[in-house]
Structure 1
Amino acid sequence: MKLDAEIKGKIQRLAAARRRSAHWIMREAIAQYVEREEKREQFRQSAIAAWNDYQATGLHVTATEADAWLARLEDGEDAETPECHG
């Protein structure tokens, strides 16, 4: 992998501080990046599916209903999800 001198130096300094190889630092960074981007893509796909479902059915809850439900959960209540309506 070709890296500019500044990034290469940062990796080498971090590797020395962590008592790891530069290779280990780069592998770890790539693994974390891939995991984060996979989660981001799953979230994006879920949002697209939810939007498509809403467009097809019109079912939804209002922001006020969602906020009230989340507040109850935050308070430790075993609150059921609000009913969707059209």
Structure 2
Amino acid sequence: MATSLKISDELKGRVQQLARQRRRSAHWIMLEAIQQYVAREEAREDFLREALTSWADYQETGEHLTGQEVRSWLDSWGSDDEEAAPECRR
């Protein structure tokens, strides 16, 4: 699928300069930027969706962990004394 993109002369110059510095084509630079942006925004949407689902679950059940409980559990990861996941409570 061919798509054209209209950008300002200033931005075009910046892309071309970066392409020269990276020894890449301007097309490669723009494609990489778009791919990274889309991946970042998709991850942000996934995070938001997960947070809203977690909030809805909490409102329905009241089950939760404190921040300290989670930090203690995560701090134990990879150690000889790795803890099991804490139990949720109301």
TM-superposed deviation, 1:77: 3.7
Q: Which has the higher helix share?
A: 1
Between the aligned partners of 1:24 and 1:2, the Cα distance in structure 2 is 16
Match of 1:3 in 2: 7
Deviates more, 1:39-48 or 1:66-75: 66-75
Deviations 1:15-47 (A, max 9, x none): 111222111110111011111111111111111
Q: 1:68 aligns with which of 68, 72, 89?
A: 72
Deviates more, 1:75-84 or 1:55-64: 75-84
Query: Any unmatched runs of 5+ in structure 1?
Result: none
1:1-86 alignment to 2 at 5 Å? Answer: 1-73=5-77, 75=79, 77-86=81-90
Identity of aligned residues (%): 50
Query: Any unmatched runs of 5+ in structure 2?
Result: none
What SS class does the counterpart of residue 12 from structure 1 fall into? Answer: helix
- Report how many aligned residue pairs link the two structures: 86
Deviations 1:32-76 (A, max 9, x none): 111111111111111110000000000001122112112212645
TM-score (norm 2): 0.85
